[in-house]
Structure 1
Amino acid sequence: MPEERSRSRITAWRPQVAGVAEVFHAHFVGHAYPAHTHDTWTLMIVDDGCVDFALDRRRHGATGARSTLLLPPGVSHDGRTVTPAGFRKRVLYLDAAVLPGSLVGTAVGAPVLDDALLRGRIDRLHTALGHEEDAFEAESRLAFIRERLLVRLADALPAVPGRGAGRLAAELRELLDARITAGMSLREATAILQAHPTHLIRSFKQTYGLPPHTYLTGRRVDRARRLLLEGRRPAEVAAEAGFYDQAHLSRHFSRHLGITPGRYVSSVRAAGADSVAGAAGGGG
């Protein structure tokens, strides 16, 4: 057993995203959790293998590729591996306020959800949470996960105001344009505009063809390009354009333009030098 435990691997962190108390990734081999409770909702996807667990003294099983588990706060549960290879999981511990307490009983009765849409949303949120600097994207993805869970557990979407999508999208765009460098959280935007999060995001995408976090990143890349053309160093440009650091700038700049900021500056200088040389040659 000590040898099997030594093969287990875990990664855990607390992101700066409202509603997410902890992110936990693990590959467990030969491990068994004793009965315990959390004061959070436990939202887990199994990536590989099989896990057996008891929730409120009733046993369940979940396998990789399709299974999503939702364990409510305050309810006793355990967990253990089933096969010698163990299992790999990714867990989001969500603040109790993310879902209404009235749904605890429903979650206890059916904790394993076979829902490809939900699982895909959770997977994409984990990817976003791997980059602390992209909190707006993570908040947006969490909002849609919450919405899907409400559909599955309560068979109803949250009520949203009947505000026009175009008007709401334009107001959000004005906010984002005014805060390209400073940025803003989804919670702040919804508070200012008095809008439901998923309604706000859908309205923006319907109007402009892309979600607000993608729009903001694109505006930041455009600002970075202009600053780089002025001869500014990438390290300076990152902060002034609203990126977390130079690595954050480089990741998004490369994804948008297919070239790093440093190579972009070099190519611009080379092109400028060629133009000067060409002009000199023509004059001779």
Structure 2
Amino acid sequence: MKKDIHQVNLYRRVVPDVEILSLYSARAFPRHSHDQFGIGVFAQGSQRSWSNIGNVNAVTGDIIMVNPGEIHDGIPAGPRGWHMLYINPDVFINEWNSDLPTDALILKPVVHDPVLGLMVRQFFRQLTNNESDTMALEEMILRCLMQAGKHHTLTATRGIPYSSTVRRVKEFIDDAPEENMTLTGLATLCDISRFQLIRRFSREVGMTPHAYLLQSRVRLAKKLLSQGKRTVDVALMAGFTDQSHLTHAFQKQTGITPGQYRTAVVE
């Protein structure tokens, strides 16, 4: 039986509005998105990913980045590892003192930048070895932001806006992901067939309505866990049937368990 290689460390939050994660895993990640900007270095291995500019490949030494709401996945060629910083988008924009809305700043999905790679690796080395205080770590994160924002943004605007049908379904799900929903109900909401809904939603969003619902529930669960609520309670509050269903969906999307996330983010 093939061994499941999966090691992940979500570090206790040392800087507000920044999640810090290291991962070494052979698992594939399904299409999903984050609420934050992500900046990291590919430490070993390689993978193919779907992004807002199509399929991209990342290998050892590359910088990998994601934008808030950008649908992406991760298909590895074998065990691969990375170190990532996930930064609140408001913080990113504010640090740039920019009048641009968050969705107008778009980071490239994969770049080769030895300078930024060294910055990220130095940050993680000092973090794990307790070599720096909080102020020094905060400064290093801002230097990473400056390097990425200055050299690795896309000037093109995002893709075609969602159709009114897809936008309505997305908003309906996002407004109350904890509610019990059916494909029939969502299709009726838009006066189209279930087949039309799945086809249109998948084409425009990059995932099915059910996959998007699970992602929204995981996002809600993260918010509740960060407030210190118990995992067993969060499962029901976020719309999952029980704790095991929450754990499965949470780990599939984030690579970590709800308990690991709660431990890292709760003061």
Whichever of the two has the greater Rg, that structure is 1
TM-score by length of 2: 0.50
TM-score normalised over the length of structure 1 = 0.47
